[in-house]
Amino acid sequence: MEHKILNLKLKVWKQKNSHSAGRFETYEVKDISSEMSFLEMFDVLNERLIHEGKDPIAFDHDCREGICGTCSMYINGRPHGPWHATTTCQLHMRAFKNGDTIVVEPWRAKAFPVIKDLVVDRTSFDRIIQAGGFISVNTGNAVDGNAIPIEKDKADKSFAAAACIGCGACVAACKNSSALLFVSAKVSHLALLPQGDPERKSRVMNMVAQMDKEGFGACTNTGACEAVCPKEISITNIARLNAEYFLTGLSSDK
């Protein structure tokens, strides 16, 4: 792959905290390798800003391997940038052309208040997970993987739902800031397995109640969430959550 050097203009959202007014700041970055990751490019810019005695750009990151879900940024109007099924840390600068202007913003949602610049508070997701509770299974010695027979179709669907990294791109892309793709992935993961059956009714009711309490919007099923999900979580999980919620509501034993 041909190595290129890029000179770019960045328009980055700067905001002291959730109570302060934000604004776009313009930065010029030069001699950027096309093989750098997007976050490495930010590292280079921040090193320069610190050297100049200026405030660096705050952004979230941890694993830089597409696993942790913290590298949440809106890049040129799309969560995580232009590449499909890719987190920001996996996005490389070869996705852009020399002379491009790149606009970078934080997630925009009431339930994700800005902490600083591109960093938002996503602990609302943690509270939804906590509302789901635990599973009452034997936590003794590990059992053989085939000890509990599970249909391959269900196992595959559960595994696919469990791939959700909780990055919040689905919320950022939704016009209503709905968290249903995230919540449905977490509900589906356990609802499809026998280990999750004992608490399946309380789990779906409590997680949906907490989601509403956090201020996330309603789902209108436009599919924007699925389109930008870096792990390609399917919106069929939303249908499964709705079915679980409806059936639990019909049941007298909640």
Give yes or no: residues 162 and 237 share one domain.
yes
Which residues of the chain register pLDDT less than 50? 254
Report the distance separating Cα 117 and Cα 105, nearest Å.
8
Residue where one domain finishes, among candidates 76, 105, 134: 105
Position 217 in a domain: yes
Q: Is residue 115 part of a domain?
A: no
* pLDDT of amino acid 116: 98
Closest to 229 in 3D by CA, of 84, 131, 118: 84
Q: Say yes or no: 144 and 78 in one domain.
A: no
Give the pLDDT of residue 254: 45
Q: How many domains does the chain have?
A: 2
- Quick one: 89 and 139 in the same domain? no
Question: pTM of the full predicted structure?
Answer: 0.93
Residue 112 falls within a domain, yes or no? no
In a domain, 117, yes or no: no
Question: Looking at the structure, do residues 53 and 126 belong to the same domain, yes or no?
Answer: no
Segment 58-86, tens digit of pLDDT: 999 999 999 999 999 999 999 999 999 99
How far is Cα 155 from Cα 193, in angstroms, rounded to an integer? Answer: 7
CATH number of the domain to which 244 belongs: 1.10.1060.10
The identity of residue 11, as a single letter, is K
- Compute CA 12 distance to the chain's CA centroid, rounded to the nearest angstrom: 20
Helix or strand run (H / E) with residue 169: helix 169-173
In a domain, 92, yes or no: yes
Query: In the prediction, which pLDDT does 151 show?
Result: 92
Say if residue 135 is in the same domain as residue 171.
yes
Q: Indicate whether 186 and 92 sit together in one domain.
A: no
Q: Is residue 36 in a domain?
A: yes
Q: Which domain holds residue 197?
A: 122-250
Predicted local confidence at residue 68, as pLDDT: 95
Whether residue 155 sits in one domain with residue 35: no
pLDDT given for residue 252 in this prediction: 56
- The tokens describing 4, both together, are 């290129």
C-alpha to C-alpha distance for 128 and 53, rounded to whole angstroms: 40
221-231 pLDDT per residue, tens: 999 999 999 99
Judgement on whether residues 93 and 182 belong to the same structural domain of the protein: no
C-alpha distances (whole Å) from 77 to each of 103, 164, 172, 207 are 8, 22, 10, 30
Pair 75, 175 in one domain: no
Same domain, 232 and 140: yes
We report the CATH number of the domain holding residue 38 as 3.10.20.30
The single residue listed with the structure tokens 């606009």 is 103
- Do 134 and 71 fall within a single domain? no
> Last residue of some domain: 105, 131, 153?
105
Is 167 in the same domain as 211? yes
Choosing from 58, 77, 105, the residue where a domain stops is 105
pLDDT of residue 223: 96
